[in-house]
Amino acid sequence: MPTTVKVSNFGPIASGSVELRPLTVFFGPSNSGKTFLATLVYGLHTITNGFSVLPRPELWQQWAARSVAAGSYSGGSEAAKEIRSLIVHGLSAGKVKFDSLPTSYKALLADFLSADDGFSVELADELKRLYNKESTEELIRVSSPNHRGTIALSVQGDPSHSTQDQSGWKMGTTLDGTACATEVNIDPDYVIEMDDKVKQGAQLTLPLFEGDEASEVDRFIDALMAGRILGSFRENRESIEAWFLPASRSGIMLTHRFLASALVRRSTGRRRRNTFDPYVLPGAISDFVANLLTFTERRKWGHQAQLARYIETGLLQGTVETRREGKFGLPSFVYTPDSWKEGFPLADASSMVTELAPLVVYLRWLVKPGDMLIIEEPEAHLHPEAQTKVALALARMVRSGIRLVITTHSDWLLAEISNLIRAGELEDPRSDRGADPTDLPRLQASEVGVWGFEVDPDSRASTIQELPFKWIGGVEPPKIFDIAEAMHEQTAQLIREHEDGLGHEIE
């Protein structure tokens, strides 16, 4: 679904808006806010359950327990009854418009989204976790004239639907001092999809609580679980998830077992007096560590595993394997070059291998079609030729159904992405024959969004503008050619000075 994120006075960003496309690229100088915005995208995707207007049910349940215990809500029974009826009798069409949902259920959602201790608090807590801040006030741009920042999320309906079924919903958050206020507006014509597995599972899921002995909290949670039928939920189908590969991934990959040991020692409380309390990791990084420690090799996605193998053969010239000490041991990672019988620890491998190994692990064991994968600087520590191969791998991920957000400084990467767009605009030679693994993966211009971050030299705040694709120039990053021209002029000047000293021209 077309999704737009807009911010003002947020971290280092003065203002900017990005539309998330199958391949979204953030390009710009260091300290311009690329990671800051990518982290926000990760958090919004997570807390809205994949940009769904129906938040994660566990958030509702926590709020329900607090609200009912405080005597501030008592409508769970009616909501559960009405939504059961809708699910059992009224969903033969496989979709329902938001305005057609039971009145009591819409009231339930509105209460959660507008309550002082509801969605606003959950979003504020997630922002503080992601950026490792004590208060959301620390996320407001320091030089903001009114000390107020804003976050806006706009989600439109599936463009494959008819025009009248493309309505969506919007979320607006204002950071004003220590306050974090969020407002959600849902178009009455917003369409909530259901698939066959969800409709079949509805009969098995409801009701959860019955009889006079069920408490109001039980009935309230019953309604919330019923609402889960209307969106993505884990019991009946795989939820859409977001994954974040931070720029520090290679170092974490090499030390994750040490980090795990430190966390265990910390949790036991057996630290010596006056010892340093370990730094709390920002949320996206701590999630990455947790994924490395807890993933299981049993969950393997076919086509994504092929993508992992493509990176191994095309870039790494070897395989990345996991090994465990015992059934429940922590994983360690080993690199085995092609034609070698034995591998060796990643710590002994090149920087290219350690940079790309996390991507191989994620593609092989974690990421699935429909998920969002955010990669910081996928070109880091790579030769220009390898950077162009990374662009090919990114295009293959898009073709497999993964939605990508990447940050980059590489004009080589943009140049190769531009060529893949050019190839996509031409007639596809595969139309008359079967797919060939050696074919160039193609991208459509509408699938790619490149957003340039530019820093004002005086305020040091950045603004964001889309960098359009052009047939002749491709995607042209700002100031790259200015830098190349300045270096050329400097080289020419140094040569002239040297020639003047010699009294003759040099070859």
Residues 337 and 300 in one domain: yes
Number of domains making up the chain: 2
On whether both 293 and 215 belong to a single domain, the answer is no
Residues 305, 359 within the same domain: yes
Q: Are residues 216 and 254 in the same domain?
A: no
Is 261 found in the same domain as 134? no
Same domain flag for 217 and 154: yes
User: Is the residue at 175 inside a domain?
Assistant: yes
For residues 144 and 290, state if they share a domain. Answer: no
Of 325, 348, 367, the residue that ends a domain is 367
How high is the pLDDT of residue 499? 81
Statement to judge: residues 264 and 305 lie in one domain: yes
From CA 339, how far away is CA 336, in angstroms rounded? Answer: 8
Is residue 384 situated within a structural domain?
no
Q: Of 167, 200, 228, at which residue does a domain stop?
A: 228
State the DSSP string of 105-128. HHHHHHHHHHSTTTHHHHHHHHHH
Tell me the C-alpha distance between 92 and 77, whole Å: 24
Q: List Cα–Cα distances, 177 to 95, 130, 362, in angstroms.
A: 41, 19, 38
End-of-domain residue from the set 318, 340, 367: 367
Distance CA 366, CA 437 (A): 23
Of residues 386, 317, 382, 390, the one with CA closest to residue 359: 390
Residue whose pair of structure tokens reads 């394997």 in the numeric block: 321
**What pLDDT, on the 0 to 100 scale, is given for residue 75?**
56
The reply to whether 433 falls in a domain is no
Q: How much is the pLDDT for 205?
A: 45
Identify whether residues 359 and 310 lie together within a single domain. Answer: yes
Looking at the chain, the number of H-run helices and the number of E-run strands are: 14, 18
Let me know if residue 152 belongs to a domain: yes
Six-digit token string for 270: 């057996």
- 20 found inside a domain: no
Residue 319 lies in a domain: yes
Instruction: Please tell me the predicted confidence (pLDDT) of residue 325.
Output: 72
Same domain, 214 and 346: no
Sequence letter at residue 425: E
146 and 260: one domain? no
Distance between CA atoms of residues 289 and 259, nearest Å:
8
Tell me the residue range of the domain where 332 lies. Answer: 246-269+281-367
299 has which bridge partners? none
> Dihedral of the CA atoms 119, 120, 122, 125 (nearest 10)?
170
93 and 203 co-located in one domain:
yes
DSSP 455-479: E-TTT--EEEEE--EETTTEE--TT
pLDDT of residue 454: 93
Let me know if residue 326 belongs to a domain. yes
Q: Would you list the DSSP string of 332-353?
A: EEEEEETT-SS-EEGGGS-HHH
Q: Encode the chain (507 residues) as per-residue pLDDT tens digits.
A: 689 999 999 999 999 999 999 999 999 999 999 999 999 999 999 888 888 766 565 666 666 666 666 655 555 566 656 666 665 555 555 667 778 777 777 777 787 787 777 888 889 999 999 999 999 999 998 777 778 899 999 988 665 555 555 578 899 999 988 888 888 888 888 876 655 544 444 444 444 445 555 555 555 555 555 554 444 333 333 467 899 999 989 888 877 666 666 555 444 444 444 443 445 788 899 899 888 888 777 656 567 788 999 999 999 999 998 887 766 677 888 999 998 989 998 889 999 999 999 999 999 989 988 899 999 999 999 999 999 999 999 999 999 999 999 999 999 999 999 999 999 988 665 544 444 555 678 999 999 999 999 999 888 899 999 999 999 888 888 777 777 788 888 888 888 888 888 777 776
Q: Is residue 197 part of a domain?
A: yes
pLDDT of residue 233: 35
